[in-house]
Structure 1
Amino acid sequence: MTQREKIYLFDTTLRDGQQTPGIDFSVEDKIAIAKLLDAFGFDYVEGGYPGANPTDTKFFERNRLQNADFVAFGMTKRAGVSASNDPGLSALLQSNSDAVCFVAKSWDYHVDVALGISNEENLECIAASVEATVSAGKEAMVDCEHFFDGYKANPDYALACARTAFEAGARWVVLCDTNGGSQPDEVSRIVSAVIEAGIPGERLGIHAHNDTGQAVANSLAAVDAGVRQIQGTLNGIGERCGNANLVTLVPTLVLKTVWNSRFETAIDEEKLKGLTRLSHAFDELLNRSPEPQAPYVGVSSFATKAGIHASALLKDPQTYEHIPPEAVGNKRKVMVSDQGGKSNFINELQQRGIEVSKDNPRLDRLISIVKEHEAQGYAYEAADASFELLARRTLGRVPEFFRVDSFRVMVERRFDANGNLKTVSEAIVKVEIDGETTMSVAEGHGPVNALDIALRKDLGKYQAEIEDLELTDYKVRILNGGTEAITRVLIESRDQTGKRWWTVGVSDNIIDASFQALMDSVTYKLMMVRKD
């Protein structure tokens, strides 16, 4: 068997990923993310630019990685100043890092416009920075910024920049598609030209941006052409359209025969089973919902809706799955809707630990109810928890934890004691538990929030079981026009275990639809406690 070559995985989530609009990592955020990356098995973790800002400086002072090489990022030295007298370079060399990755201009247009120096001065800056890093005992890397655009404009100079970094002792010369506009065939052709010019593939990396949606494709094209390091970010975050998504690239390299027959990575099939958990944990830290259709790790990645597909899946999952979902820590999801047949329902019920025979009349009743409800506007394919509750109730398997006798919501706009105009929402909910009625009153930020607080204010003996329940998303859709429109409300909830679930409500009254979804969320949480 031919010896497989290693592909080195370089994560720049903490540096390039921080350029994402709306993302601003604290020191504690960076430490938490670095631990996730280190535990998963990436070869390099780039932490940021020590000396350039207080957050990165403190992070480099505090961070310790157990497995990955820790990388500091920064500019090459300034023209006209020696390496020993450049404060920016000194900060990089003195940082608590194993390696330094320099960004260097490789497009002569940028050298002139952005740096305002000569082409020869730029080459001298690259060489001196790399040599100083090697002398300091650190691994040196050079990100050749705008390399592909630079090569297309002036191939001789772009190659001169890459060759200068290599000859000065850089372990990695990274070819960057900084503007993200290159095509896979261009990347392949240019990487081949670099190798032909004398820089071996085992010293080359690829750093692709996703402005044409091809960062992953461009990275794989570069690997196929000879590079042996891939740079990217978790979930593809990054400025503009993001960076190459390592969460997509890693399983492709590990699981697809066209790649794993030729290459190996530090992340093997056993580690890969934690991929979905890693991706979702990162989204959780960013306080955002995971992308449902993300390749490999999305909740819809292995979801099937059509009845004939579900029937085939039950016979052999390979009929509609390119890999087993368990290989990346995900799971199969056969969705229930008015398009689904019995196979969908049976499979979905089995996934939830509900066994029912195909000839059970209650199954026919459940299918009939789902189709009737979806005709009214319910969407059970998007509301997994509400579907399970409906199924268990139809099959006679859900206890009545509590009963809401009534609720009332009041919204009042008035001047407060200071003369400021404000809108106040107040809700009253009457709940019966074991024959005893309690009434809870609460104010909230809007009527739905007030209802949520009032409903969960006093659930008697169940109160402790819902303390960690948190509502994380709220979606409203108007299903038809006019002031009498039917409204569908979807609510996402989670608890401290990390589990997430969706519930749905439909009504011609948005408050009523919201309350249906709220009640389902609380009931589902109580039911999960008993299942555990």
Structure 2
Amino acid sequence: MSRTQPAGTPLGDAFHVYDTTLRDGAQREGISYSIADKLAVARHLDALGVGFIEGGWPGALPKDTEFFARAAAGELELRHAVLVAFGSTRKAGTTAAKDPQVRALLDSQAPVVTLVAKSDRRHIERALRTDVAENCAMVSDTVSFLVGEGRRVFLDAEHFFDGYAYDPDTALRVLEAAATAGADVVVLCDTNGGMLPLGIAEVVTEVAARTGFRLGIHCQDDTGCAVANTVSAVQAGATHVQCTANGYGERTGNADLFPVVGNLVTKLGMPVLPEGALAELTRTAHALAEIANIAPDTHQPYVGASAFAHKAGLHASAIKVDPELYNHMDPVEVGNGQRILVTEMAGRASVELKGAELGLDLASRPDATEAVVATVKEREAAGWSFEAADASLELLMRAALGERESAPFTLESYRVITEHRADGEVVAEATVKVLVDGERMIATEEGNGPVNALDAALRAALAPFCPWLEDVELSDYKVRILSRAGSQEGHGTDAVTRVLVESTDRDGSWTTIGVHGNVVEASWLALVDALAYAAMRARRPAAGEETAEEVVAAR
């Protein structure tokens, strides 16, 4: 394996990127893939350029058996990857040819089979209740049978590192039984996830020197070191890495595919993906999180939304001079982007960079920049959080620049009441009075809560004048109770409330914020910003528009 191949030159079979999201990753608490989900995950992984996709355990799980059947029937066309079936060696006291589990692996029609086998003598004797000789015979017989049937075989040596520390000779005998029977790769598994990088490197180096076998690595993340352990194993000579998307897996998870690949390509110069595929890393990570119905980890290395986000003013000042001063790489390489967060920690550089990110030239307007910095610091001291509400921040910046935006209305008043009816039903009713294009509009609507009712009433009042409103939806609503300024403790129902509203239209989403001692007023502030931003996105005619500053004043 060459570590000096030029970027964009795939290593091919010299190095394996092996994904086990559909089997090991599916063992994470809270994940339950349907067959359609499994097919979708496999397609995303294949598009990324993963070399091997472990589809599951046919014969043991009906869902996995059907997945392989549907894949074989043509529902899964792979361009880069090879589909792998996972299963165990034959049972003690029989032969591989007669073992129904082994037969199910053949019936899956997967061209590659990964077998799991015990390599820790304690597990062999206590869990399998057999001896080392029979365990090695189970490995050898199953591998040779599958190879004889035209399958390529990898062996996962379960509990290898613990077993090697306890009885190295037994652990090596299991590897030898697999390799001499025809297994292409023997994978050293840190099944309990208790290893650290230096220990991994020492064992991989020693085993490679003692056996000469092609080695793989499979790490769990119980010490938080799965990614580091995997990279360490590669540096010590492993040429096959087993990972899961976003680190999904049993307990604390597995080695995360995306930082593993990111490290191999950008830090070790190993082109383990097809040319151009690295730029799909972030998109793929988020797509697979969506299928798993798990929110993406914003702080995930390489692909997280915060992976290249900068908050401190000191960072922003340096980044303004050279982005590489506070980024370990160009985020574009992995399909991500740099973000500047404007908070109470921000200085002029942060505001100018954030403005540039939003398409606003604040660098040439020091007066506007200072006004934004001062307003942000003042409001954040009162509980606002603009790093979570880019749309409200952009409105604030445009107001400081004096830019005129589409203000959909001017508030006269609003009223909200909540009624608990005799039948137990609780209904909120809101009435809004607004001026729209010079006309006074009054609307009353009911909702399942005060914010829902207020939103409905406001929409009803604006609908005749704002056709773009049909595309705008309130997609998320978050409330947090804050302690009052100067207080060491929260005041419960008497505390300051922060509301974040996420809105969407056909082109994307945006978040706005409101803070007030009254939760309804805090919600109103966030709703008004949301509609002011939506109106700006809709690019209404300039005539009669109000500035974003006037919108804020109208609240």
What's the TM-score once normalised by structure 1's chain length?
0.90
Question: Could you tell me how far apart the structure 2 residues matched to 1:234 and 1:495 are?
Answer: 29
Preserved contact between residue 428 and residue 442 of structure 1 (Cα < 8 Å): no
Q: Which runs of 5+ in 2 are unaligned?
A: 6-10, 485-489, 541-555
- 2:61 maps to 1:53: yes
Q: Residue 432 and residue 29 in structure 1: after superposition, are their counterparts in 2 closer, same or farther (change >3 A)?
A: farther
Question: Could you tell me how far apart the structure 1 residues matched to 2:421 and 2:88 are?
Answer: 57
- 2:201 maps to 1:188: yes
Which residue pairs with 2:273 in the alignment? 266
Specify the SS of the correspondent of 1:115.
coil
Which residue among 305, 311, 321 is the counterpart of 1:305?
Answer: 311
Preserved contact between residue 89 and residue 96 of structure 2 (Cα < 8 Å): no
Preserved contact between residue 469 and residue 525 of structure 1 (Cα < 8 Å): no
Which residue pairs with 2:116 in the alignment? 103
Shift in Å, 1:306: 2.2
Shift in Å, 1:522: 4.0
Moved more, 336-345 or 287-296: 287-296
Preserved contact between residue 166 and residue 199 of structure 1 (Cα < 8 Å): no
- 2:526 maps to 1:520: no
Question: Could you tell me how far apart the structure 2 residues matched to 1:139 and 1:461 are?
Answer: 66
Moved more, 177-186 or 519-528: 519-528
Preserved contact between residue 346 and residue 358 of structure 1 (Cα < 8 Å): no
Partner AA of 1:510 in structure 2: V
- 2:511 maps to 1:502: yes
Which residue pairs with 1:342 in the alignment? 348
Tell me how large the CA RMSD over aligned residues is.
2.5
Partner AA of 1:236 in structure 2: G
Moved more, 86-95 or 45-54: 45-54
Which residue pairs with 2:550 in the alignment? none
Preserved contact between residue 141 and residue 173 of structure 1 (Cα < 8 Å): yes
Specify the SS of the correspondent of 2:494.
coil
Question: Could you tell me how far apart the structure 1 residues matched to 2:386 and 2:220 are?
Answer: 37
Shift in Å, 1:155: 0.9
Q: Residue 199 and residue 370 in structure 1: after superposition, are their counterparts in 2 closer, same or farther (change >3 A)?
A: same
- 2:50 maps to 1:42: yes
Which residue pairs with 2:35 in the alignment? 27
Which residue pairs with 2:441 in the alignment? 437
Preserved contact between residue 488 and residue 513 of structure 1 (Cα < 8 Å): yes
What's the TM-score once normalised by structure 2's chain length?
0.87
Shift in Å, 1:414: 4.7
Shift in Å, 1:77: 1.5
Moved more, 277-286 or 460-469: 460-469
Identity, % of aligned positions? 42
Question: Could you tell me how far apart the structure 1 residues matched to 2:432 and 2:85 are?
Answer: 56
Which residue among 233, 254, 258 is the counterpart of 1:247?
Answer: 258
Q: What are the residue-to-residue correspondences of 1:56-455 with 2, within 5 Å?
A: 56-63=64-71, 64=76, 65-200=78-213, 203-256=214-267, 259-260=268-269, 263-268=270-275, 270-395=276-401, 396-403=403-410, 405-414=412-421, 416=423, 421=424, 423-429=426-432, 432-434=435-437, 435=439, 437=441, 439-444=443-448, 446-452=449-455, 455=458
Preserved contact between residue 479 and residue 488 of structure 1 (Cα < 8 Å): no
Shift in Å, 1:242: 0.8
Q: Residue 495 and residue 272 in structure 1: after superposition, are their counterparts in 2 closer, same or farther (change >3 A)?
A: farther
Moved more, 37-46 or 359-368: 359-368
Cα deviation digits, residues 301-348 of structure 1 (max 9, x gap):
212222232122111111111101111111111221222111111111
Partner AA of 1:47 in structure 2: G
Preserved contact between residue 433 and residue 440 of structure 2 (Cα < 8 Å): no
Partner AA of 1:506 in structure 2: V
In the alignment of these two chains, the number of paired residues is: 518
Preserved contact between residue 344 and residue 380 of structure 2 (Cα < 8 Å): yes
Preserved contact between residue 90 and residue 142 of structure 2 (Cα < 8 Å): yes
Partner AA of 1:334 in structure 2: I
